[in-house]
Structure 1
């Protein structure tokens, strides 16, 4: 099952709507996409890529737009004719566009691929082990997975910083020591019913629903409002995605999943296997950047769009410049 993404703020949504793609019977419609220009930095022009047409897609939420713009900028700096098809509506449409050859490359998540695309029910523990399993299985579908970034956009629970200090908690195992009346949770309806969701998580950490956590302590609400509800104290613990920019903006603290309950959702560059074989140089363009993409970095970049209202393309280019990849 594909994880539902939180609703974005109006500013970010407006930018997405302007540049969104429409799926038609003839494939994806081209759209006027803004991707800022850049000059070579540590990423240099690659003669073998000069003029090569590579269509880059992405899903239509903030993080994916930023990552997609990065790939377009990098490939253009390397000399390729990179076509910007970022902003495809949803995981299924983006995946299908890759499999159908409507796009050549995109960024995706190991957990999404393993569970949603490949139909597996049990995540593989460990970042690299999960990636290897996905890479091996997806090769049969003609998709090559470059090595995963440290960035892990998975489920987590967050708490107000002052509450974390008061309760002396930093990891989910600490829930067992929290007074019953303070074991209050905000979760969305999908997460509340998933096999890798709320109730199994409580069981894993020794605070099962009903036995320890009263059902009246659980608020079901839209994923997009959980962050603000947690920051306002409507519940002690709120379900979040680990790279969401609102975590820092609202002074929330993510509790460590110290027993490794949640699946790994590390992002990795996906490219059609035939394109990867024909142009192996693409890997040397993408890999150095992917290695620098951490969860904390992505939180900051997402916040610049979702909280500060900046353009995803400019955010992508500014970060690439700050790391010296481009000028």
Structure 2
């Protein structure tokens, strides 16, 4: 289960038990080393379970502590719905989510908004009105779905866009083989919707369902599949020399990352927006891809990757 994983919805008691096992350790950053704006605040930080979320969660823990807050690590929650439920049921106080997830998964809209600014504004307005959830100004990074192929194979097949891929299915169907996640196979903003949008008739034998990490490995090998479902800020894309196909019909939603928190917390601690706005501005696709690669390719811990980047950017000492 990954970025926009829906997952089974647990009850509050079950979720509380799972959160108790998620963490509880504090960041090594010295409390108040960057300021005392949040002195006296006690905040629980959540995140989903995949690399990017773990890095963002560690950034949040360290920044809050550096500005004087006492923090509790509740990161590494399984799935989007469980993480969101932790926020709305006050088991965590804030975590990073994605505008496309908010619009489609939480607010139940079938059709995404193509313009990133309009998508963010729509999510922020509706979620605040309906659920009293605040979406802070988003980062430029757009961790959306995509399909990728080995660079050399993509050039050989002449496939650069999803429309090219749809055409390949008609001319060389044996070459159009796919690796996808089980959840992606059933999502409206995933496999069923994608096939409909691009008019793709894919033989069942051309599709293999694999775990997320395995998809990158097998796509790079090219034996199980030529085309793998990927996430656009994943550091394994450049590391494994994969070429991302252009979504030329703009089917996939925009997934800009945004710090989310309950209105009660945002109102009580307005300093949070001031602290995190400049951080969000620097989180581009390229930046996040490099940070993710530090974990997934180079083997560093998310905590260390977050600390190093925040230090290099001057956000913490």
Same fold by TM-score greater than 0.5: yes
Cα 1:279–1:143 shift into 2, 3 Å: same
Give the deviation of 1:312 after TM superposition.
0.8
- 8 Å CA contact 1:49–1:80 kept in 2: the answer is yes
TM-score (norm 1): 0.83
TM-score (norm 2): 0.85
- 8 Å CA contact 1:131–1:148 kept in 2: the answer is yes
- Alignment-derived partner of residue 106 in structure 1: 95
RMSD between aligned alpha carbons? 2.7
Q: Distance in 1 between matches of 2:132 and 2:196?
A: 39
- Alignment-derived partner of residue 198 in structure 1: 191
SS in 2 for 1:298: helix
- 8 Å CA contact 1:40–1:325 kept in 2: the answer is no
Q: Distance in 2 between matches of 1:122 and 1:313?
A: 36
- 8 Å CA contact 1:28–1:102 kept in 2: the answer is no
Equivalent position to 2:208, from 210, 219, 224: 219
Higher relative contact order (CA 8 A, sep 6+): 1
- 8 Å CA contact 1:187–1:226 kept in 2: the answer is yes
Q: Distance in 2 between matches of 1:264 and 1:307?
A: 25
Q: Please, which runs of 5 or more residues in structure 1 have no aligned partner?
A: 6-21
Q: Distance in 2 between matches of 1:103 and 1:216?
A: 43
Mapping 1:1-327, distance limit 5 Å: 3-4=4-5, 23-24=15-16, 28=20, 31-33=23-25, 35-37=27-29, 44-45=34-35, 47-139=36-128, 140-176=130-166, 178=168, 179-180=171-172, 181-206=174-199, 208-209=200-201, 213-234=202-223, 235-327=225-317
Give per-residue Cα distances to partners, 1:42-68, cap 9 Å, x unaligned: xx41x4422322221112222111101
Cα 1:314–1:36 shift into 2, 3 Å: farther
Judge which range, 277-286 or 164-173, deviates more.
164-173
Judge which range, 65-74 or 188-197, deviates more.
188-197
- 8 Å CA contact 2:32–2:65 kept in 1: the answer is no
Q: Distance in 2 between matches of 1:166 and 1:27?
A: 48
Q: Distance in 1 between matches of 2:134 and 2:197?
A: 34
- Alignment-derived partner of residue 14 in structure 1: none
